[in-house]
Chain A
Amino acid sequence: MTTALTRSDVAPVASAKRRRRAPGWLAVLPLLVFTAIAFGLPALAILDGAFTTKDATTGATSYTGANMTASLHGAYLTALLGSVRLSAISAVLGALFGLPLAQAVAGSRSRALREAVLTASGVLANFGGVPLAFAFVATLGNAGVLTLHLGLKDSGWDLYSFWGLVLVYLYFLIPLMVLTITPALDGLRAQWREAALNNGATGVQYWRHVALPVLAPSLLGGFVLLFGSAFAAYATAAAMVGSAVPLVTLQIADALSGNVLVGQENVALALSLDMVLVAGLVMAVYLPLQRRSARWLDA
């Protein structure tokens, strides 16, 4: 009662308290119901399908671990590992190239440059998918402008390969890194640099003992975010390489569109579950890092 009294509500205390409680739940309820249906059902379907199998003759379903086992063997395992390798390498390179770019912007006193680069990053981080694939096909594909003019074909260049995909993925991963790490770089306070110098540190010592350790959670968080983004990417790869590079997303799509043996849908669901587990792991690493860096940088 006393807590209700301190709030400046004119209505009688008891009814005010009840009224306040009710709309809170009611306002959140539609969201919860919606996600329970639109997200919960597919999620359950993945979980259920990954562990069931349907007998082709009787149509009866039974629980089994066979799909999961299959999803971790042979071509499926190759695809899963291929996706992890592609995502890890792209994310490392994206983070490595994104950091100096972000630093060049954050350290600049030019507001215009800053705004321009950040806006461009916002657009380019969005520029994934089919249009990106086609832009690179036009540039570095077999009939691409640069391929023809620079005679890259003779030197063995092939866009439709693992490293070709890395090059394309970086196009949206680097901007994503810039967007992720710039706030952290902005959070590096001038006083820290000055305090370090004041305590006898050189510029290099400042970076090694203060700036990089303070940035570490954000850097790692950025890397993990890039990894997740590359790992989930499907459209770019589908539009560019077809199935020339084994990726788990392409395998799932193949299984869903019936390009492989009948009865493989449940393996597709098992592969999906593998992906969810990897993505879940990614978030489990990312969120605590994010929280720590926020605590350090916004204090």
Chain B
Amino acid sequence: MARRLTPWRWAVLGLAALYFLVPLAASVVFTVDDPDGISFDAYTKILSAGGFVSSLLLSLELAVTTIVVVLLLMVPAVVALRLGAPRLRPVVEVVCSLPLVVPPIAFVAGIVSVLKWGPDHLSRTPLFQTFVAIQNPSFPVVLVLAYVVMALPFVYRALDAGLRAIDVRTLVEAARSCGASWPQALVRAVLPNLRGALLNAAFLTLALVLGEFTVAQLLGYQPFAVWIYNVGSDQAQMSVAVSVLSLLVTWALLLALAGAGGGRNRTAPSRG
């Protein structure tokens, strides 16, 4: 049966390949197209373009911080759900699904109005200083807060899938009966077995932060995705070149993750 369907299968795959490869190929053609033939100027100019390095660095810093924070919050929580507090599971599940119900644009609208409370109501309290501090343009903590929230559903799913594959309770009890203390049991027995899930969660968060546009743009910061957008208005070729490169970087990261023995959970956060 399966054999007879092969032509059908190749037709489907061929059409899909056409649809997905043509824009990429055309983008590459677009970037090297020059009145005098072929030119790689668009690519060589990227490095020297104003804001490229600083916006990319900002995105990477935000990504690393977000990953650290989200893992510090989530790993103890999900391990605890397996070990001591199964009754909290529905609570955590709901908390981690709520961000899915609030689209980023609505979320940022809420953040904008919260940030307005600062000058409006709190200008004479110490909290005001906090409001100013989290909006520091050189490292906007408010973006980290937003990205951690947006990453929660994906990180929860990745970690939960990883934990489902191992019996945490038995692992911990085995480690404890071998003389390990509680912290030792977690660090030496549980975390190594979660390596794939942690990598997976980290990758999903990284992809989310590097590509995030909505929140950053509307709060007035310029990480990488916003920079591409701003460049696009006057340097079309270069912005497309950067887009192509950013796709290649995502590919490389995902392949590296697969190579590092990551999980099979590829449900990625999608953003349009």
Contact = CB atoms under 8 A, between A and B. Distances in A.
Interface of A: 7-9, 20-21, 23-28, 30-32, 34-35, 37-39, 41-46, 48-49, 97, 100-101, 103-104, 107-109, 113, 117-132, 134-140, 143-146, 169-172, 174, 176, 179-180, 203, 228-239, 249, 252-253, 256-257, 265, 268-269, 271-273, 275-276, 279-280, 283, 287
Contact of A130 (B23, B145, B232): B232
Nearest to B169: A7
Given A101-B16, A130-B229, A42 B95 contact: no
Interface in B150-187: 152, 173, 176-177, 182
Contact of A108 (B9, B95, B99, B228): B9
B243 A131 contact: yes
Interface of B: 1-2, 5, 8-9, 12-13, 16, 19-20, 22-24, 26-27, 29-31, 33, 72-74, 76-77, 79-81, 83-85, 88, 91-92, 95, 97-114, 117, 145-146, 148-149, 152, 173, 176-177, 182, 207, 211-214, 217-218, 225, 228-229, 232, 236, 239-240, 242-244, 246-247, 250-251, 254-255, 258, 266-272
A11 B31 CA distance: 68
A283 B104 CA distance: 15
A130 B213 contact: yes
A287 B80 CA distance: 24
A143 B250 CA distance: 27
Nearest to A203: B1
A273 B110 CA distance: 10
A145 B152 CA distance: 39
Given A42-B114, A176-B270, A180-B267, A8 B173 contact: yes
A138 B225 contact: no
A28 B92 contact: yes
A269 B228 contact: no
> Which among A26, A129, A236, A252 has the greatest number of chain B C-beta atoms within 10 A?
A129
> Which among A26, A42, A113, A174 has the greatest number of chain B C-beta atoms within 10 A?
A42
A236 B272 contact: yes
A139 B26 contact: yes
A124 B20 contact: yes
Q: Lowest 8 A-B CB distances belong to which pairs?
A: A233-B272, A24-B85, A42-B110, A24-B84, A232-B103, A131-B243, A272-B106, A27-B80
Contacts, number: 294
Contact of B76 (A7, A27, A122, A272): A27
Contacts of A239: 213, 229, 232
Contacts of B107: 39, 42
Contacts of B270: 125-126, 128, 172, 176, 229
27 contacts: A21-B84, A24-B83, A27-B79, A27-B85, A31-B92, A32-B91, A32-B95, A43-B98, A45-B114, A49-B110, A101-B13, A104-B8, A119-B258, A125-B270, A131-B211, A131-B225, A134-B232, A146-B22, A172-B270, A179-B266, A235-B272, A238-B229, A256-B108, A272-B110, A275-B106, A279-B100, A287-B97
B213 A42 contact: no
Interface of A is mostly: helix
A249 B266 CA distance: 27
Given A275-B103, A275-B105, 13 more contacts: A27-B76, A31-B95, A35-B152, A38-B145, A46-B110, A145-B27, A180-B267, A229-B270, A235-B229, A238-B213, A257-B218, A271-B109, A279-B101
Contacts of A172: 270, 272
Contact of B271 (A27, A118, A129): A129
B100 A283 contact: yes
